[in-house]
């Protein structure tokens, strides 16, 4: 599969405006394969300015690591630029440079080729702008996992194919596991790595209800839908988020139902009403788990009595993309305030 990516990537070098899409489940080597392809381009000095973008620079380190490995195998001389924490931000060879930029700056850069890593988490409007601006585009993303919505991305790719020269390469063969390894399937099931928001086309009847943790975790189908909505809206989710959804005390979960399907979720957590001892500890710099807003006000504003107040903090709120901008999130917040 990884060799297939290298071979199919040559498509991007043909004349005209072209987009290469590389998708895969987690652990298939998609970023490594793209990094090796970039090492070929840099070694040959085919482009002068190659841009790599992603939601955060550490999420593109695999691309840069394999770019370096490829150049080292080819015995090509190159120089590096690193961030303060030692992450690779730039690679240069002769007149060719590869640099990481955040998405907003990448949109304004005059580059010959752009690689968008974890493209599903960038946002479809941003991707559309990038594709219109750059002649050569490589989109790399995980379809299932904690890095944003793969479903919306695949719909976006289908639209691209109708008007542009697009090649879609899919990797299936795993690197981290043997093919068909039950451990991988087990991890997907336990950590809801393939959780997705439900597909809803219209709303006939709606209601907003509180769902208890017991209800949520005793209904696998509902849990996957609710968690899928949160994963779709928030980049870089982790198993900790799932654990907090199930274990965190003093939280409420609100669901906006379109008939029988959830399309919006709010996770709110109770904060404040702290004891005098807790307030003094926070003011002295002792870390207090939870109570984020009182902690910040006490620590930085030095308003100690703020810790005695009670409040609800919206920890996460999300609406499925199809129904965003219709006031649904506001209705959920109104329900939170009402209660």
Give the per-residue SS3 of 65-125.
Answer: HHHHHHHHHCCCCCEEEECCCCCEEEEEECCEEEEEECHHHHCCCCCCEEEEECHHHCCHH
pLDDT band per the 50, 70, 90 thresholds, residue 235: low
- Counting every residue written for the chain, the total comes to 339
Which residues on neighbouring strands pair with residue 313, listed in sequence order?
Answer: 269
**pLDDT 10s digits, 102-161:** 999 999 999 999 999 989 888 888 999 999 999 999 999 987 655 556 677 888 888 888
Q: pLDDT higher for 20 or 156?
A: 20
Asked, colleague to colleague, whether 2-170 and 195-270+312-338 share their fold, the answer is no
The stretch 239-252 carries a mean pLDDT of 88
Architecture of domain 195-270+312-338: 3-Layer(aba) Sandwich (3.40)
CA 159, CA 122: separation in Å to the nearest integer? 17
The stretch 204-232 carries a mean pLDDT of 93
pLDDT band per the 50, 70, 90 thresholds, residue 220: very high
Domain spans of the chain, in order of start: 2-170, 195-270+312-338, 274-308
The whole-number pLDDT of residue 330 equals 97
Q: What predicted TM-score, i.e. pTM, was given to this entire model?
A: 0.78
Q: pLDDT higher for 301 or 249?
A: 301
The whole-number pLDDT of residue 233 equals 79
The stretch 11-23 carries a mean pLDDT of 93
Domain covering 2-170 assigned CATH 2.40.50.100 in the classification: no
């Amino acid at each position: 599969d990884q060799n297939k990516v290298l071979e199919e990537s040559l498509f991007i070098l043909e004349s005209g405006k072209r987009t290469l899409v590389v998708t895969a489940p987690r652990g298939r080597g998609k970023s490594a394969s793209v990094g090796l392809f970039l090492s070929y381009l840099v070694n040959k000095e085919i482009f002068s300015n190659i841009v790599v973008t992603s939601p955060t620079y550490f999420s593109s380190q695999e691309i840069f690591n394999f770019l370096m490995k490829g150049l080292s195998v080819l015995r090509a001389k190159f120089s590096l630029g690193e961030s303060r924490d030692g992450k690779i931000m730039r690679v240069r060879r002769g007149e060719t440079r590869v640099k990481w930029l955040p998405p907003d700056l990448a949109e304004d850069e005059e580059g010959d080729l752009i690689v968008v890593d974890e493209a599903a988490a960038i946002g479809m409007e941003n991707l559309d702008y990038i594709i219109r601006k750059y002649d050569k585009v490589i989109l790399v993303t995980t379809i299932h996992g904690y890095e944003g919505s793969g479903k919306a991305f695949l719909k976006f790719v289908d639209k691209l194919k109708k008007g542009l020269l697009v090649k879609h390469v899919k990797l299936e063969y795993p690197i981290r596991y043997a093919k068909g390894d039950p451990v991988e399937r087990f991890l997907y099931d336990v950590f809801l790595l393939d959780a997705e928001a439900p597909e809803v086309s219209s709303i006939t009847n709606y209601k907003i209800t509180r769902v208890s943790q017991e209800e949520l975790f005793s209904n696998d189908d509902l849990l996957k839908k609710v968690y899928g909505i949160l994963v779709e809206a928030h980049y870089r989710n982790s198993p900790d988020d799932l654990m907090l959804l199930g274990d965190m005390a003093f939280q409420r979960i609100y669901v906006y139902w379109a008939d029988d399907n959830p399309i919006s979720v709010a996770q709110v957590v109770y904060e404040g009403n702290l004891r005098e001892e807790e307030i003094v500890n926070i003011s002295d710099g002792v870390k207090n788990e939870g109570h984020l807003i009182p902690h910040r006000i006490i620590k930085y504003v030095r308003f100690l009595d703020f810790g005695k107040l009670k409040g609800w903090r919206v920890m996460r709120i999300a609406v499925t993309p199809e129904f965003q901008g219709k006031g649904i999130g506001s209705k959920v917040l109104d329900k939170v305030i009402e209660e």
